[in-house]
């Protein structure tokens, strides 16, 4: 039980901090959230800068072309990037955190050579075609069908919650090739310029457009684009999950801490902190976010020593998502009628209220108990896999 | 950085658990419910022999361990519902201010509610009493022997294993030796901090044991022809209990690591944008707050999972709930810690 960083870890932090300080001023402001071509260009440019500096794929093993950093260095990387206000991973999310690691673990030599450099160098964007309108929490019930026809699979069906589909080059696609639930699924690489793909953007409650629905009508995908064996796609997908090193929500957690500080300063100016009940809610969130930061370090330490993040991931997500929502609810309450608009507004003393940021975070927090496993599914996982309670029909 | 619970620390916890199971099983402890003396002097001495009060003292008196080990040990004591003034005796031993505290030959209490009319725990069996200001921000005093004006033992203490006395006033004790040297609060404050941390560790123990009891019951108890643990409504309560316990434990362990390592405090304070002193206070307040809530919340939830049986005197869940409530009122209430923590977010960055 030791929070001390080693000398190499401290050196890694310092070197990264120097690089961020020198690099970030030239990166510029991010484009508007719904200008997808501009966002693609901005996010890829940032990835290119990371690549040139040797920071691309800190969490990728060296054999995949990554930096092969330890989980603790990955934590430091995310911490420093967030604290310095570096761009988010953005459209590179699926490539860097999911498709790339999957190809490293399960892809052929040819697939690795073809796809990995494009992700690391910030040249190609990936999206994810896993969920379907009728297969959400119960992903293994997915029905998008792939039928073998010579050297191709012919794929028909629909996918949903496909982030960045509008600007993606490839899609990691789960398709049904057999009848058995999770032993009838295959993992394919779908080029997004293949004929038969229709993309329909979905608008979120925040008004943002990162999600899309995909309609696939007899899309031909070469058999050579299959990662892993036919009908082995479920296992292939699960392998990637083990790439998670307990750092999944580091950026989001630190962002919440920053927003809490911003909100506290606004609340103090508005006199809202004079209310003892409001003050205690702030204090409670300080305690919760600090504890979640400690839990992150525990999970990362576990991953560093054992290769798996232990029980911490679901525990972390359940608690974090709840407290992020509590922060959002507190912000909306304190901003009062200024929460009714995402246009930047000033308070009575003329200083900015930060309502646009807080409102965006409030909306995001609402998605946190749904995305990447609803809190209800997470509780089932915790209860069954960690506490050993009996499984039941759902 | 390796923030896992270490192998040695796990073994230490197992050792304490085995010792308590052998020497201080719950049936034995519960035989004293309602007594003026919550734990037998021999049992107290057995805790002393095990080294519970002298963990952080240098050898040969103690075992030369740090607060990280102390919180692991105190979590086990909370789990096992070991009664008595555990924290006060540890603090007295740590400060070296009461002869025999380290060995468990005497009991030393703590009182954190000022000197006015108040309720004092375990008063009848105490050789000395450490008196703190409610927020630990004034010099502590040591009252030995413990004499109090109009001390009356209460007939109906909340926790049957925490006897209580009502006192009209506590006499002015002696300043805690060591505080006087430079007029600073250094020793008083560090004792208060250690006390808060160890009390938080006891609370994590209550939270963890309540969880284990609830999960065991949910696996065994059958209704509608199936274990109640197969119902999602019950599963989700248990999952939430685990979350509360794990988050609180991480907070307590982090605070213990900071207590042990001034260099880490320096680094982390710089990152968090506060002073090292503030960082230590902040980590302690957060740990105590979350541990109090985890203990109270999990005891309540475990009673619910047990249904009617949970409401009986026989099932020990009420003892965890009651002990947790007692502990939540010492070394700062949850409300006081939450209020103190409100000062931090606006001040940082």
**How far does the CA of residue B253 sit from the closest CA of chain A (Å)?**
8
CATH of the domain at B322: 1.20.140.10
Nearest alpha carbon to residue B245 among A137, A270, A318: A318
Least confident range of A42-51, A140-149, B5-14, B148-157:
B148-157
* In a shared domain, residues B169 and B211: no
Is residue A77 predicted with pLDDT exceeding 50? yes
Identify the pLDDT of residue B150.
Answer: 83
**How far does the CA of residue A345 sit from the closest CA of chain B (Å)?**
20
Three-class SS of residue A101? helix
Binning pLDDT at 50, 70 and 90, where does residue A189 land? Answer: very high
- DSSP-derived secondary structure letter, B50: H
According to DSSP, the β-strands at B118-121 and B164-167 are: antiparallel
* In a shared domain, residues B211 and B268: yes
Is residue B179 predicted with pLDDT exceeding 70? no
CATH of the domain at B84: 1.10.540.10
Is residue A99 predicted with pLDDT exceeding 60? yes
**How far does the CA of residue A389 sit from the closest CA of chain B (Å)?**
6
* In a shared domain, residues B154 and B190: no
Contact state of A382 with B239 under an 8 Å Cβ cutoff:
yes
Average pLDDT for residues A155-175, to the nearest whole number?
97
Do the beta carbons of residue B115 and residue B170 sit within 8 Å? yes
Identify the pLDDT of residue B263.
Answer: 83
Q: Per-residue DSSP letters for B230-257? A: GSHHHHHHHHHHHHHHHHHHHHHHHHHH
Torsion of CA A6, A8, A9, A15, to 10 degrees: 150
Question: Given CB atoms, is A246 within the 8 Å cutoff of chain B?
Answer: no
Structural domain span for residue B263: 186-347
Decide if B2 is inside a domain.
no
Binning pLDDT at 50, 70 and 90, where does residue B133 land? Answer: confident
Backbone angles phi, psi at B130, to 5 degrees: -90, 125
* In a shared domain, residues B120 and B164: yes
Do the beta carbons of residue B160 and residue B81 sit within 8 Å? no
* Architecture per CATH, A7-120: Orthogonal Bundle (1.10)
Decide if B84 is inside a domain.
yes
Closest Cβ opposite residue B250 in set A298, A378, A392: A298
Please report the residues numbered 243 through 282 in chain B whose beta carbons come closer than 8 angstroms to any beta carbon of chain A. 243, 246-248, 250-251, 253-254, 256-258, 261, 263-264, 267-268, 271, 282
Q: Give A372's contacts (C-beta < 8 A, 6+ positions apart).
A: A248, A317
More confident residue, A248 or B132: B132
The kind and range of the H/E element at A292 are helix A276-306
Question: Given CB atoms, is B221 within the 8 Å cutoff of chain A?
Answer: no
Is residue A244 predicted with pLDDT exceeding 70? no
B232-279 confidence digits (pLDDT tens): 999 999 999 999 999 999 999 999 999 888 888 888 888 777 888 899
Average pLDDT for residues A76-91, to the nearest whole number?
94
Domain ranges of chain A: 7-120, 126-231, 250-386
Beta bridge partners of A152: A149, A222
Identify the pLDDT of residue B221.
Answer: 98
* Residues of chain B found within 8 Å of residue A280, distances taken between Cβ atoms: 335, 338-339, 342
Is residue B347 predicted with pLDDT exceeding 80? no
Average pLDDT, chain A: 94
Last residue of a domain, one of B127, B146, B175: B175
Least confident range of A70-79, B85-94, B171-180:
B171-180
* In a shared domain, residues B323 and B227: yes
Interface with chain B: mutation pick from A276, A291, A304, A394, highest number of B CBs within 10 Å:
A291
Decide if B147 is inside a domain.
yes
Nearest alpha carbon to residue B226 among A391, A378, A376, A382: A391
What percent of chain A shows pLDDT beyond 70?
A: 97
Average pLDDT for residues B14-40, to the nearest whole number?
97
Identify the pLDDT of residue B348.
Answer: 44
Tokens of A356: 């646009």
Decide if B1 is inside a domain.
no
Buried b (16+ CB within 10 A) or exposed e, A93-121: bbbbbbbbbbbbbbbeeebbebbbebbbb
Decide if B199 is inside a domain.
yes
Closest Cβ opposite residue B254 in set A294, A319, A392: A294
* In a shared domain, residues B214 and B331: yes
Nearest alpha carbon to residue B327 among B170, B167, B202, B209: B202
Is residue A230 predicted with pLDDT exceeding 90? yes
B145: preceding bond cis by omega (within 30 degrees): yes
Is residue B173 predicted with pLDDT exceeding 50? yes
Last residue of a domain, one of B143, B175, B207: B175
* In a shared domain, residues B337 and B217: yes
Average pLDDT for residues B86-97, to the nearest whole number?
96
Average pLDDT, chain B: 93
Is residue A50 predicted with pLDDT exceeding 70? yes
Backbone angles phi, psi at A154, to 5 degrees: -110, 120
Helices of type H across B59-140? 67-79, 86-95
Closest Cβ opposite residue A389 in set B230, B338, B341: B230
Binning pLDDT at 50, 70 and 90, where does residue A82 land? Answer: very high
Do the beta carbons of residue B139 and residue B185 sit within 8 Å? yes
> What does CATH list as the number for A126-231?
2.40.110.10
Three-class SS of residue A126? strand
CA distances from A351 to A313, A331, A354 (A): 39, 16, 9
CA distances from A362 to A340, B63, B171, B348 (A): 12, 50, 53, 21
Interface with chain A: mutation pick from B297, B346, B347, B349, highest number of A CBs within 10 Å:
B346
Identify the pLDDT of residue B259.
Answer: 85
Last residue of a domain, one of B175, B208, B225: B175
* In a shared domain, residues B158 and B203: no
* Residue that is written with structure tokens 């308070």 in the block: A347
Is residue A42 predicted with pLDDT exceeding 60? yes
Tokens of B125: 């069996």
Question: Given CB atoms, is A14 within the 8 Å cutoff of chain B?
Answer: no
* Residues of chain A found within 8 Å of residue B251, distances taken between Cβ atoms: 287, 290-291, 294
The span from the CA of B10 to the CA of B4, in Å, is 10
Is residue A362 predicted with pLDDT exceeding 70? yes
Contact state of B3 with A286 under an 8 Å Cβ cutoff:
no
* In a shared domain, residues B198 and B141: no
Do the beta carbons of residue B248 and residue B294 sit within 8 Å? yes
Question: Given CB atoms, is A1 within the 8 Å cutoff of chain B?
Answer: yes
Least confident range of A23-27, A151-155, A234-238, B292-296:
A234-238
Decide if B231 is inside a domain.
yes
Is residue A393 predicted with pLDDT exceeding 70? no
Identify the pLDDT of residue B349.
Answer: 37
The span from the CA of A121 to the CA of A56, in Å, is 7
The span from the CA of B249 to the CA of B302, in Å, is 18
* In a shared domain, residues B256 and B138: no
Torsion of CA A102, A107, A109, A113, to 10 degrees: -50
The span from the CA of B245 to the CA of B248, in Å, is 5
* In a shared domain, residues B258 and B194: yes
According to DSSP, the β-strands at A126-129 and A170-176 are: parallel
* In a shared domain, residues B169 and B203: no
Nearest alpha carbon to residue A129 among A187, A205, A210: A187
- DSSP-derived secondary structure letter, B4: S
Respond yes or no on whether ipTM tops 0.90. yes
Q: Give the active site residues of A.
A: 244
Interface with chain B: mutation pick from A14, A294, A393, highest number of B CBs within 10 Å:
A294
Question: Given CB atoms, is A331 within the 8 Å cutoff of chain B?
Answer: no
**Tally of domains in chain B:** 2
> What does CATH list as the number for A250-386?
1.20.140.10
Q: Per-residue DSSP letters for A239-255? A: HHHTT--S-TTHHHHHH
Binning pLDDT at 50, 70 and 90, where does residue B49 land? Answer: very high
The kind and range of the H/E element at A324 are helix A312-335
Average pLDDT for residues A88-117, to the nearest whole number?
95
Identify the pLDDT of residue B117.
Answer: 73
A11-28 confidence digits (pLDDT tens): 999 999 999 999 999 999
Average pLDDT for residues A249-267, to the nearest whole number?
94
B136-162 confidence digits (pLDDT tens): 888 889 999 888 778 999 999 999 999
Least confident range of A68-72, B282-286, B320-324:
A68-72
Helices B276-305 and B232-260, interaxial angle, to 10°?
150
Binning pLDDT at 50, 70 and 90, where does residue B114 land? Answer: low
Do the beta carbons of residue B270 and residue A18 sit within 8 Å? no
Do the beta carbons of residue B302 and residue B320 sit within 8 Å? yes
The span from the CA of A287 to the CA of A283, in Å, is 6
Question: Given CB atoms, is A265 within the 8 Å cutoff of chain B?
Answer: yes
**How far does the CA of residue A78 sit from the closest CA of chain B (Å)?**
14
* Residues of chain B found within 8 Å of residue A387, distances taken between Cβ atoms: 215, 235, 238-239, 242
A286-315 confidence digits (pLDDT tens): 999 999 999 999 999 988 887 766 667 899
Identify the pLDDT of residue A357.
Answer: 96
Is residue A197 predicted with pLDDT exceeding 80? yes
């Amino acid at each position: 039980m030791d929070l001390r960083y080693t000398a190499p870890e401290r050196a890694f932090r310092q070197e990264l901090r120097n690089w961020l300080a020198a690099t970030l001023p030239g990166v510029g402001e991010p484009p508007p959230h719904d200008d997808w071509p501009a966002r693609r260009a901005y996010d890829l440019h940032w990835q290119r800068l990371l690549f040139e500096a040797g920071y691309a794929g800190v969490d990728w093993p060296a054999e995949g072309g990554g930096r092969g950093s330890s989980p603790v260095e990955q934590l430091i990387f995310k911490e420093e990037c967030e604290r310095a206000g570096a761009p988010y991973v953005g459209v590179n999310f699926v490539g860097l955190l999911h498709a790339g690691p999957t190809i490293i673990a399960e892809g052929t030599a040819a697939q690795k050579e073809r796809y990995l450099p494009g992700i690391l160098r910030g040249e190609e964007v990936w999206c994810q075609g896993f969920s379907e309108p009728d297969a959400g929490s119960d992903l293994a019930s997915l029905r998008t069908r792939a039928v073998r026809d010579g050297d191709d699979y012919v794929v028909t069906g629909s996918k949903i919650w496909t982030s960045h589909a509008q600007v993606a080059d490839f899609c990691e696609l789960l398709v049904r090739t057999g009848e058995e639930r999770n032993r009838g699924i295959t993992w394919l690489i779908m080029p997004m310029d293949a004929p038969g793909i229709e993309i329909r953007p979905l608008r979120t409650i925040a008004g943002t457009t990162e999600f899309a629905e995909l309609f696939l009508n007899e899309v031909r995908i070469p058999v050579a684009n299959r990662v892993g064996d036919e009908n082995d796609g479920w296992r292939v997908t699960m392998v990637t999950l083990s790439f998670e090193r307990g750092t999944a929500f580091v950026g989001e957690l630190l962002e919440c801490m920053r927003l809490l500080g911003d909100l506290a300063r606004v609340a103090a100016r508005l006199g809202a902190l004079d209310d003892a009940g409001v003050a205690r809610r702030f204090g409670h969130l300080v305690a919760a976010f600090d504890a979640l930061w400690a839990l992150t370090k525990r999970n990362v330490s576990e991953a560093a020593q054992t290769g798996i993040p232990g029980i911490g991931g679901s525990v972390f997500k359940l608690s974090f998502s709840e407290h992020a929502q509590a922060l959002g609810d507190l912000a909306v309450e304190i901003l009062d009628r200024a929460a009714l608009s995402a246009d930047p507004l000033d308070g009575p003393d003329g200083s900015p209220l930060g309502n646009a940021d807080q409102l965006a975070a409030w909306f995001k927090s609402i998605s946190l108990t749904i995305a990447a496993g609803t809190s209800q599914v997470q509780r089932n996982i915790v209860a069954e896999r960690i506490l050993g309670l009996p499984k039941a029909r759902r | 950085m390796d923030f896992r619970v270490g192998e040695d620390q796990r073994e230490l916890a197992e050792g304490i658990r085995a010792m308590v199971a052998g020497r201080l099983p719950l049936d034995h402890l519960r035989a004293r419910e309602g007594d003026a003396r919550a734990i037998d002097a021999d049992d107290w001495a057995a805790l002393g022999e095990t080294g519970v009060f002298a963990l952080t003292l240098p050898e040969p008196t103690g075992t030369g361990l740090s607060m990280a080990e102390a919180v692991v040990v105190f979590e086990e004591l909370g789990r096992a519902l070991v009664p008595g003034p555990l924290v006060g005796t540890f603090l007295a031993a740590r400060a070296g201010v009461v002869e025999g505290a380290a060995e468990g030959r005497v009991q030393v209490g703590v009182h954190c509610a000022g000197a006015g009319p108040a309720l004092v725990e375990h008063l009848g069996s105490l050789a000395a009493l450490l008196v703190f200001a409610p927020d630990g921000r004034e010099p502590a005093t040591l009252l030995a022997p413990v004499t109090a004006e109009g001390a009356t033992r209460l007939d109906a203490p909340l926790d049957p294993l925490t006897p209580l006395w009502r006192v009209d006033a506590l006499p002015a004790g002696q300043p805690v030796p060591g505080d006087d040297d430079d007029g600073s609060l250094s020793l008083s404050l560090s004792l208060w901090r250690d006390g808060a941390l160890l009390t938080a560790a006891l609370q994590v123990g209550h939270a963890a044991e309540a969880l284990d009891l609830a999960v065991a019951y949910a696996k065994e108890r059958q209704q509608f022809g199936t274990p109640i643990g197969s119902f999602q409504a019950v599963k989700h309560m248990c999952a939430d209990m685990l979350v509360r316990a794990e988050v609180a434990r991480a907070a307590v362990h982090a605070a213990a690591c900071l207590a042990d390592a001034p260099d880490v405090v320096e680094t982390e304070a710089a990152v968090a944008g506060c002073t090292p002193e503030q960082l230590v206070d902040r980590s302690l307040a957060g740990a105590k707050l979350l541990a109090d809530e985890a203990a109270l919340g999990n005891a309540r939830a475990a009673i619910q999972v047990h249904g009617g049986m949970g409401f009986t005197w026989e099932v020990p869940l009420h003892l965890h709930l009651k002990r947790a409530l007692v502990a939540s009122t010492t070394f700062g209430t949850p409300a006081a810690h939450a209020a103190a923590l409100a000062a931090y977010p606006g001040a940082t960055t």
